[in-house]
């Protein structure tokens, strides 16, 4: 039913948070289990997403020529926002793993961000990625690879090749991604 995803996003984030906090208590590992999260919901008429931490959602539109992305909840995002470092420098910054908002830490207020509602009109592509993935694929590469791909899976596979070529797999953070194309 139209509109149900609005409570789904809140329920998903609040439920995951409660589960992590409970597991930390049960395992006597308070403040030891942290995670980031990004969720996309697509209905027959609308699209919406939410995120916390430095896992990102890229929304690519206008025939793969324009994109927007979620803003990381990190110190380096703040540095980038005020012009101290560039978007490219975020990928290599020594503090890139210092995240300000995460799942598994007590929230004094809601800590996840939600997008505006978008109507389904035309072609939209989405890439949901952990930092261990987006650090190794530049935005212009994402656009070019999407433009050359015949499916979401092909797009994902082509980006994965770049990650595996560029990352030190003995020390990189996890590299997880999901790609979706909505037409």
Q: What is the pLDDT of residues 145-164, one digit of tens each?
A: 999 999 999 999 999 999 99
pLDDT at 70: 97
62-101 pLDDT per residue, tens: 888 899 999 999 999 999 999 999 988 999 899 988 999 9
Residue 4 pLDDT exceeds 90: no
What single-letter DSSP state applies at residue 173? P
94-146 pLDDT per residue, tens: 998 899 999 999 888 778 999 999 999 989 999 999 999 999 999 999 999 99
Residue 172 pLDDT exceeds 80: no
Confidence of residue 3 (pLDDT cuts 50, 70, 90): low
What average pLDDT does the segment 8-37 reach? 92
Whether residue 12 contacts residue 77, with contact meaning beta carbons closer than 8 Å, is answered with: no
Q: What token pair was written down for 38?
A: 């990004």
Map residue 88 onto helix, strand or coil: helix
pLDDT at 5: 63
Whether residue 146 contacts residue 182, with contact meaning beta carbons closer than 8 Å, is answered with: no
pLDDT at 71: 96
Whether residue 47 contacts residue 120, with contact meaning beta carbons closer than 8 Å, is answered with: yes
| pLDDT, averaged across the chain | 92
CA–CA dist 160, 130 (Å, integer) = 12
Residue 2 pLDDT exceeds 60: no
Residue 1 pLDDT exceeds 60: no
CA–CA dist 88, 106 (Å, integer) = 31
pLDDT at 6: 62
């Amino acid at each position: 039913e139209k509109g149900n995803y609005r409570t789904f996003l809140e329920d998903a984030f609040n439920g995951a948070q409660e589960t992590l906090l409970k597991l930390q208590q049960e395992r006597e590992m308070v403040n030891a289990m942290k995670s980031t999260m990004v969720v996309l919901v697509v209905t027959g008429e609308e699209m919406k997403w939410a995120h916390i931490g430095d896992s990102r959602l890229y929304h690519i539109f206008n025939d793969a020529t324009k994109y927007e992305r979620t803003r990381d909840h990190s110190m380096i995002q703040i540095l980038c926002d005020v012009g101290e470092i560039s978007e490219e420098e975020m990928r290599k910054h020594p503090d890139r793993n210092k995240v300000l908002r995460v799942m598994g830490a007590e929230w004094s207020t809601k800590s996840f961000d939600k997008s505006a509602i978008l109507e389904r009109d035309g072609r939209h592509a989405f890439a949901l990625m952990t930092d261990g993935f987006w650090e190794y694929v530049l935005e212009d590469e994402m656009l070019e690879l999407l433009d050359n791909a015949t499916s979401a899976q092909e797009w994902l596979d082509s980006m994965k090749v770049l990650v595996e070529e560029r990352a030190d797999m003995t020390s990189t953070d996890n590299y997880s991604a999901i790609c979706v194309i909505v037409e």
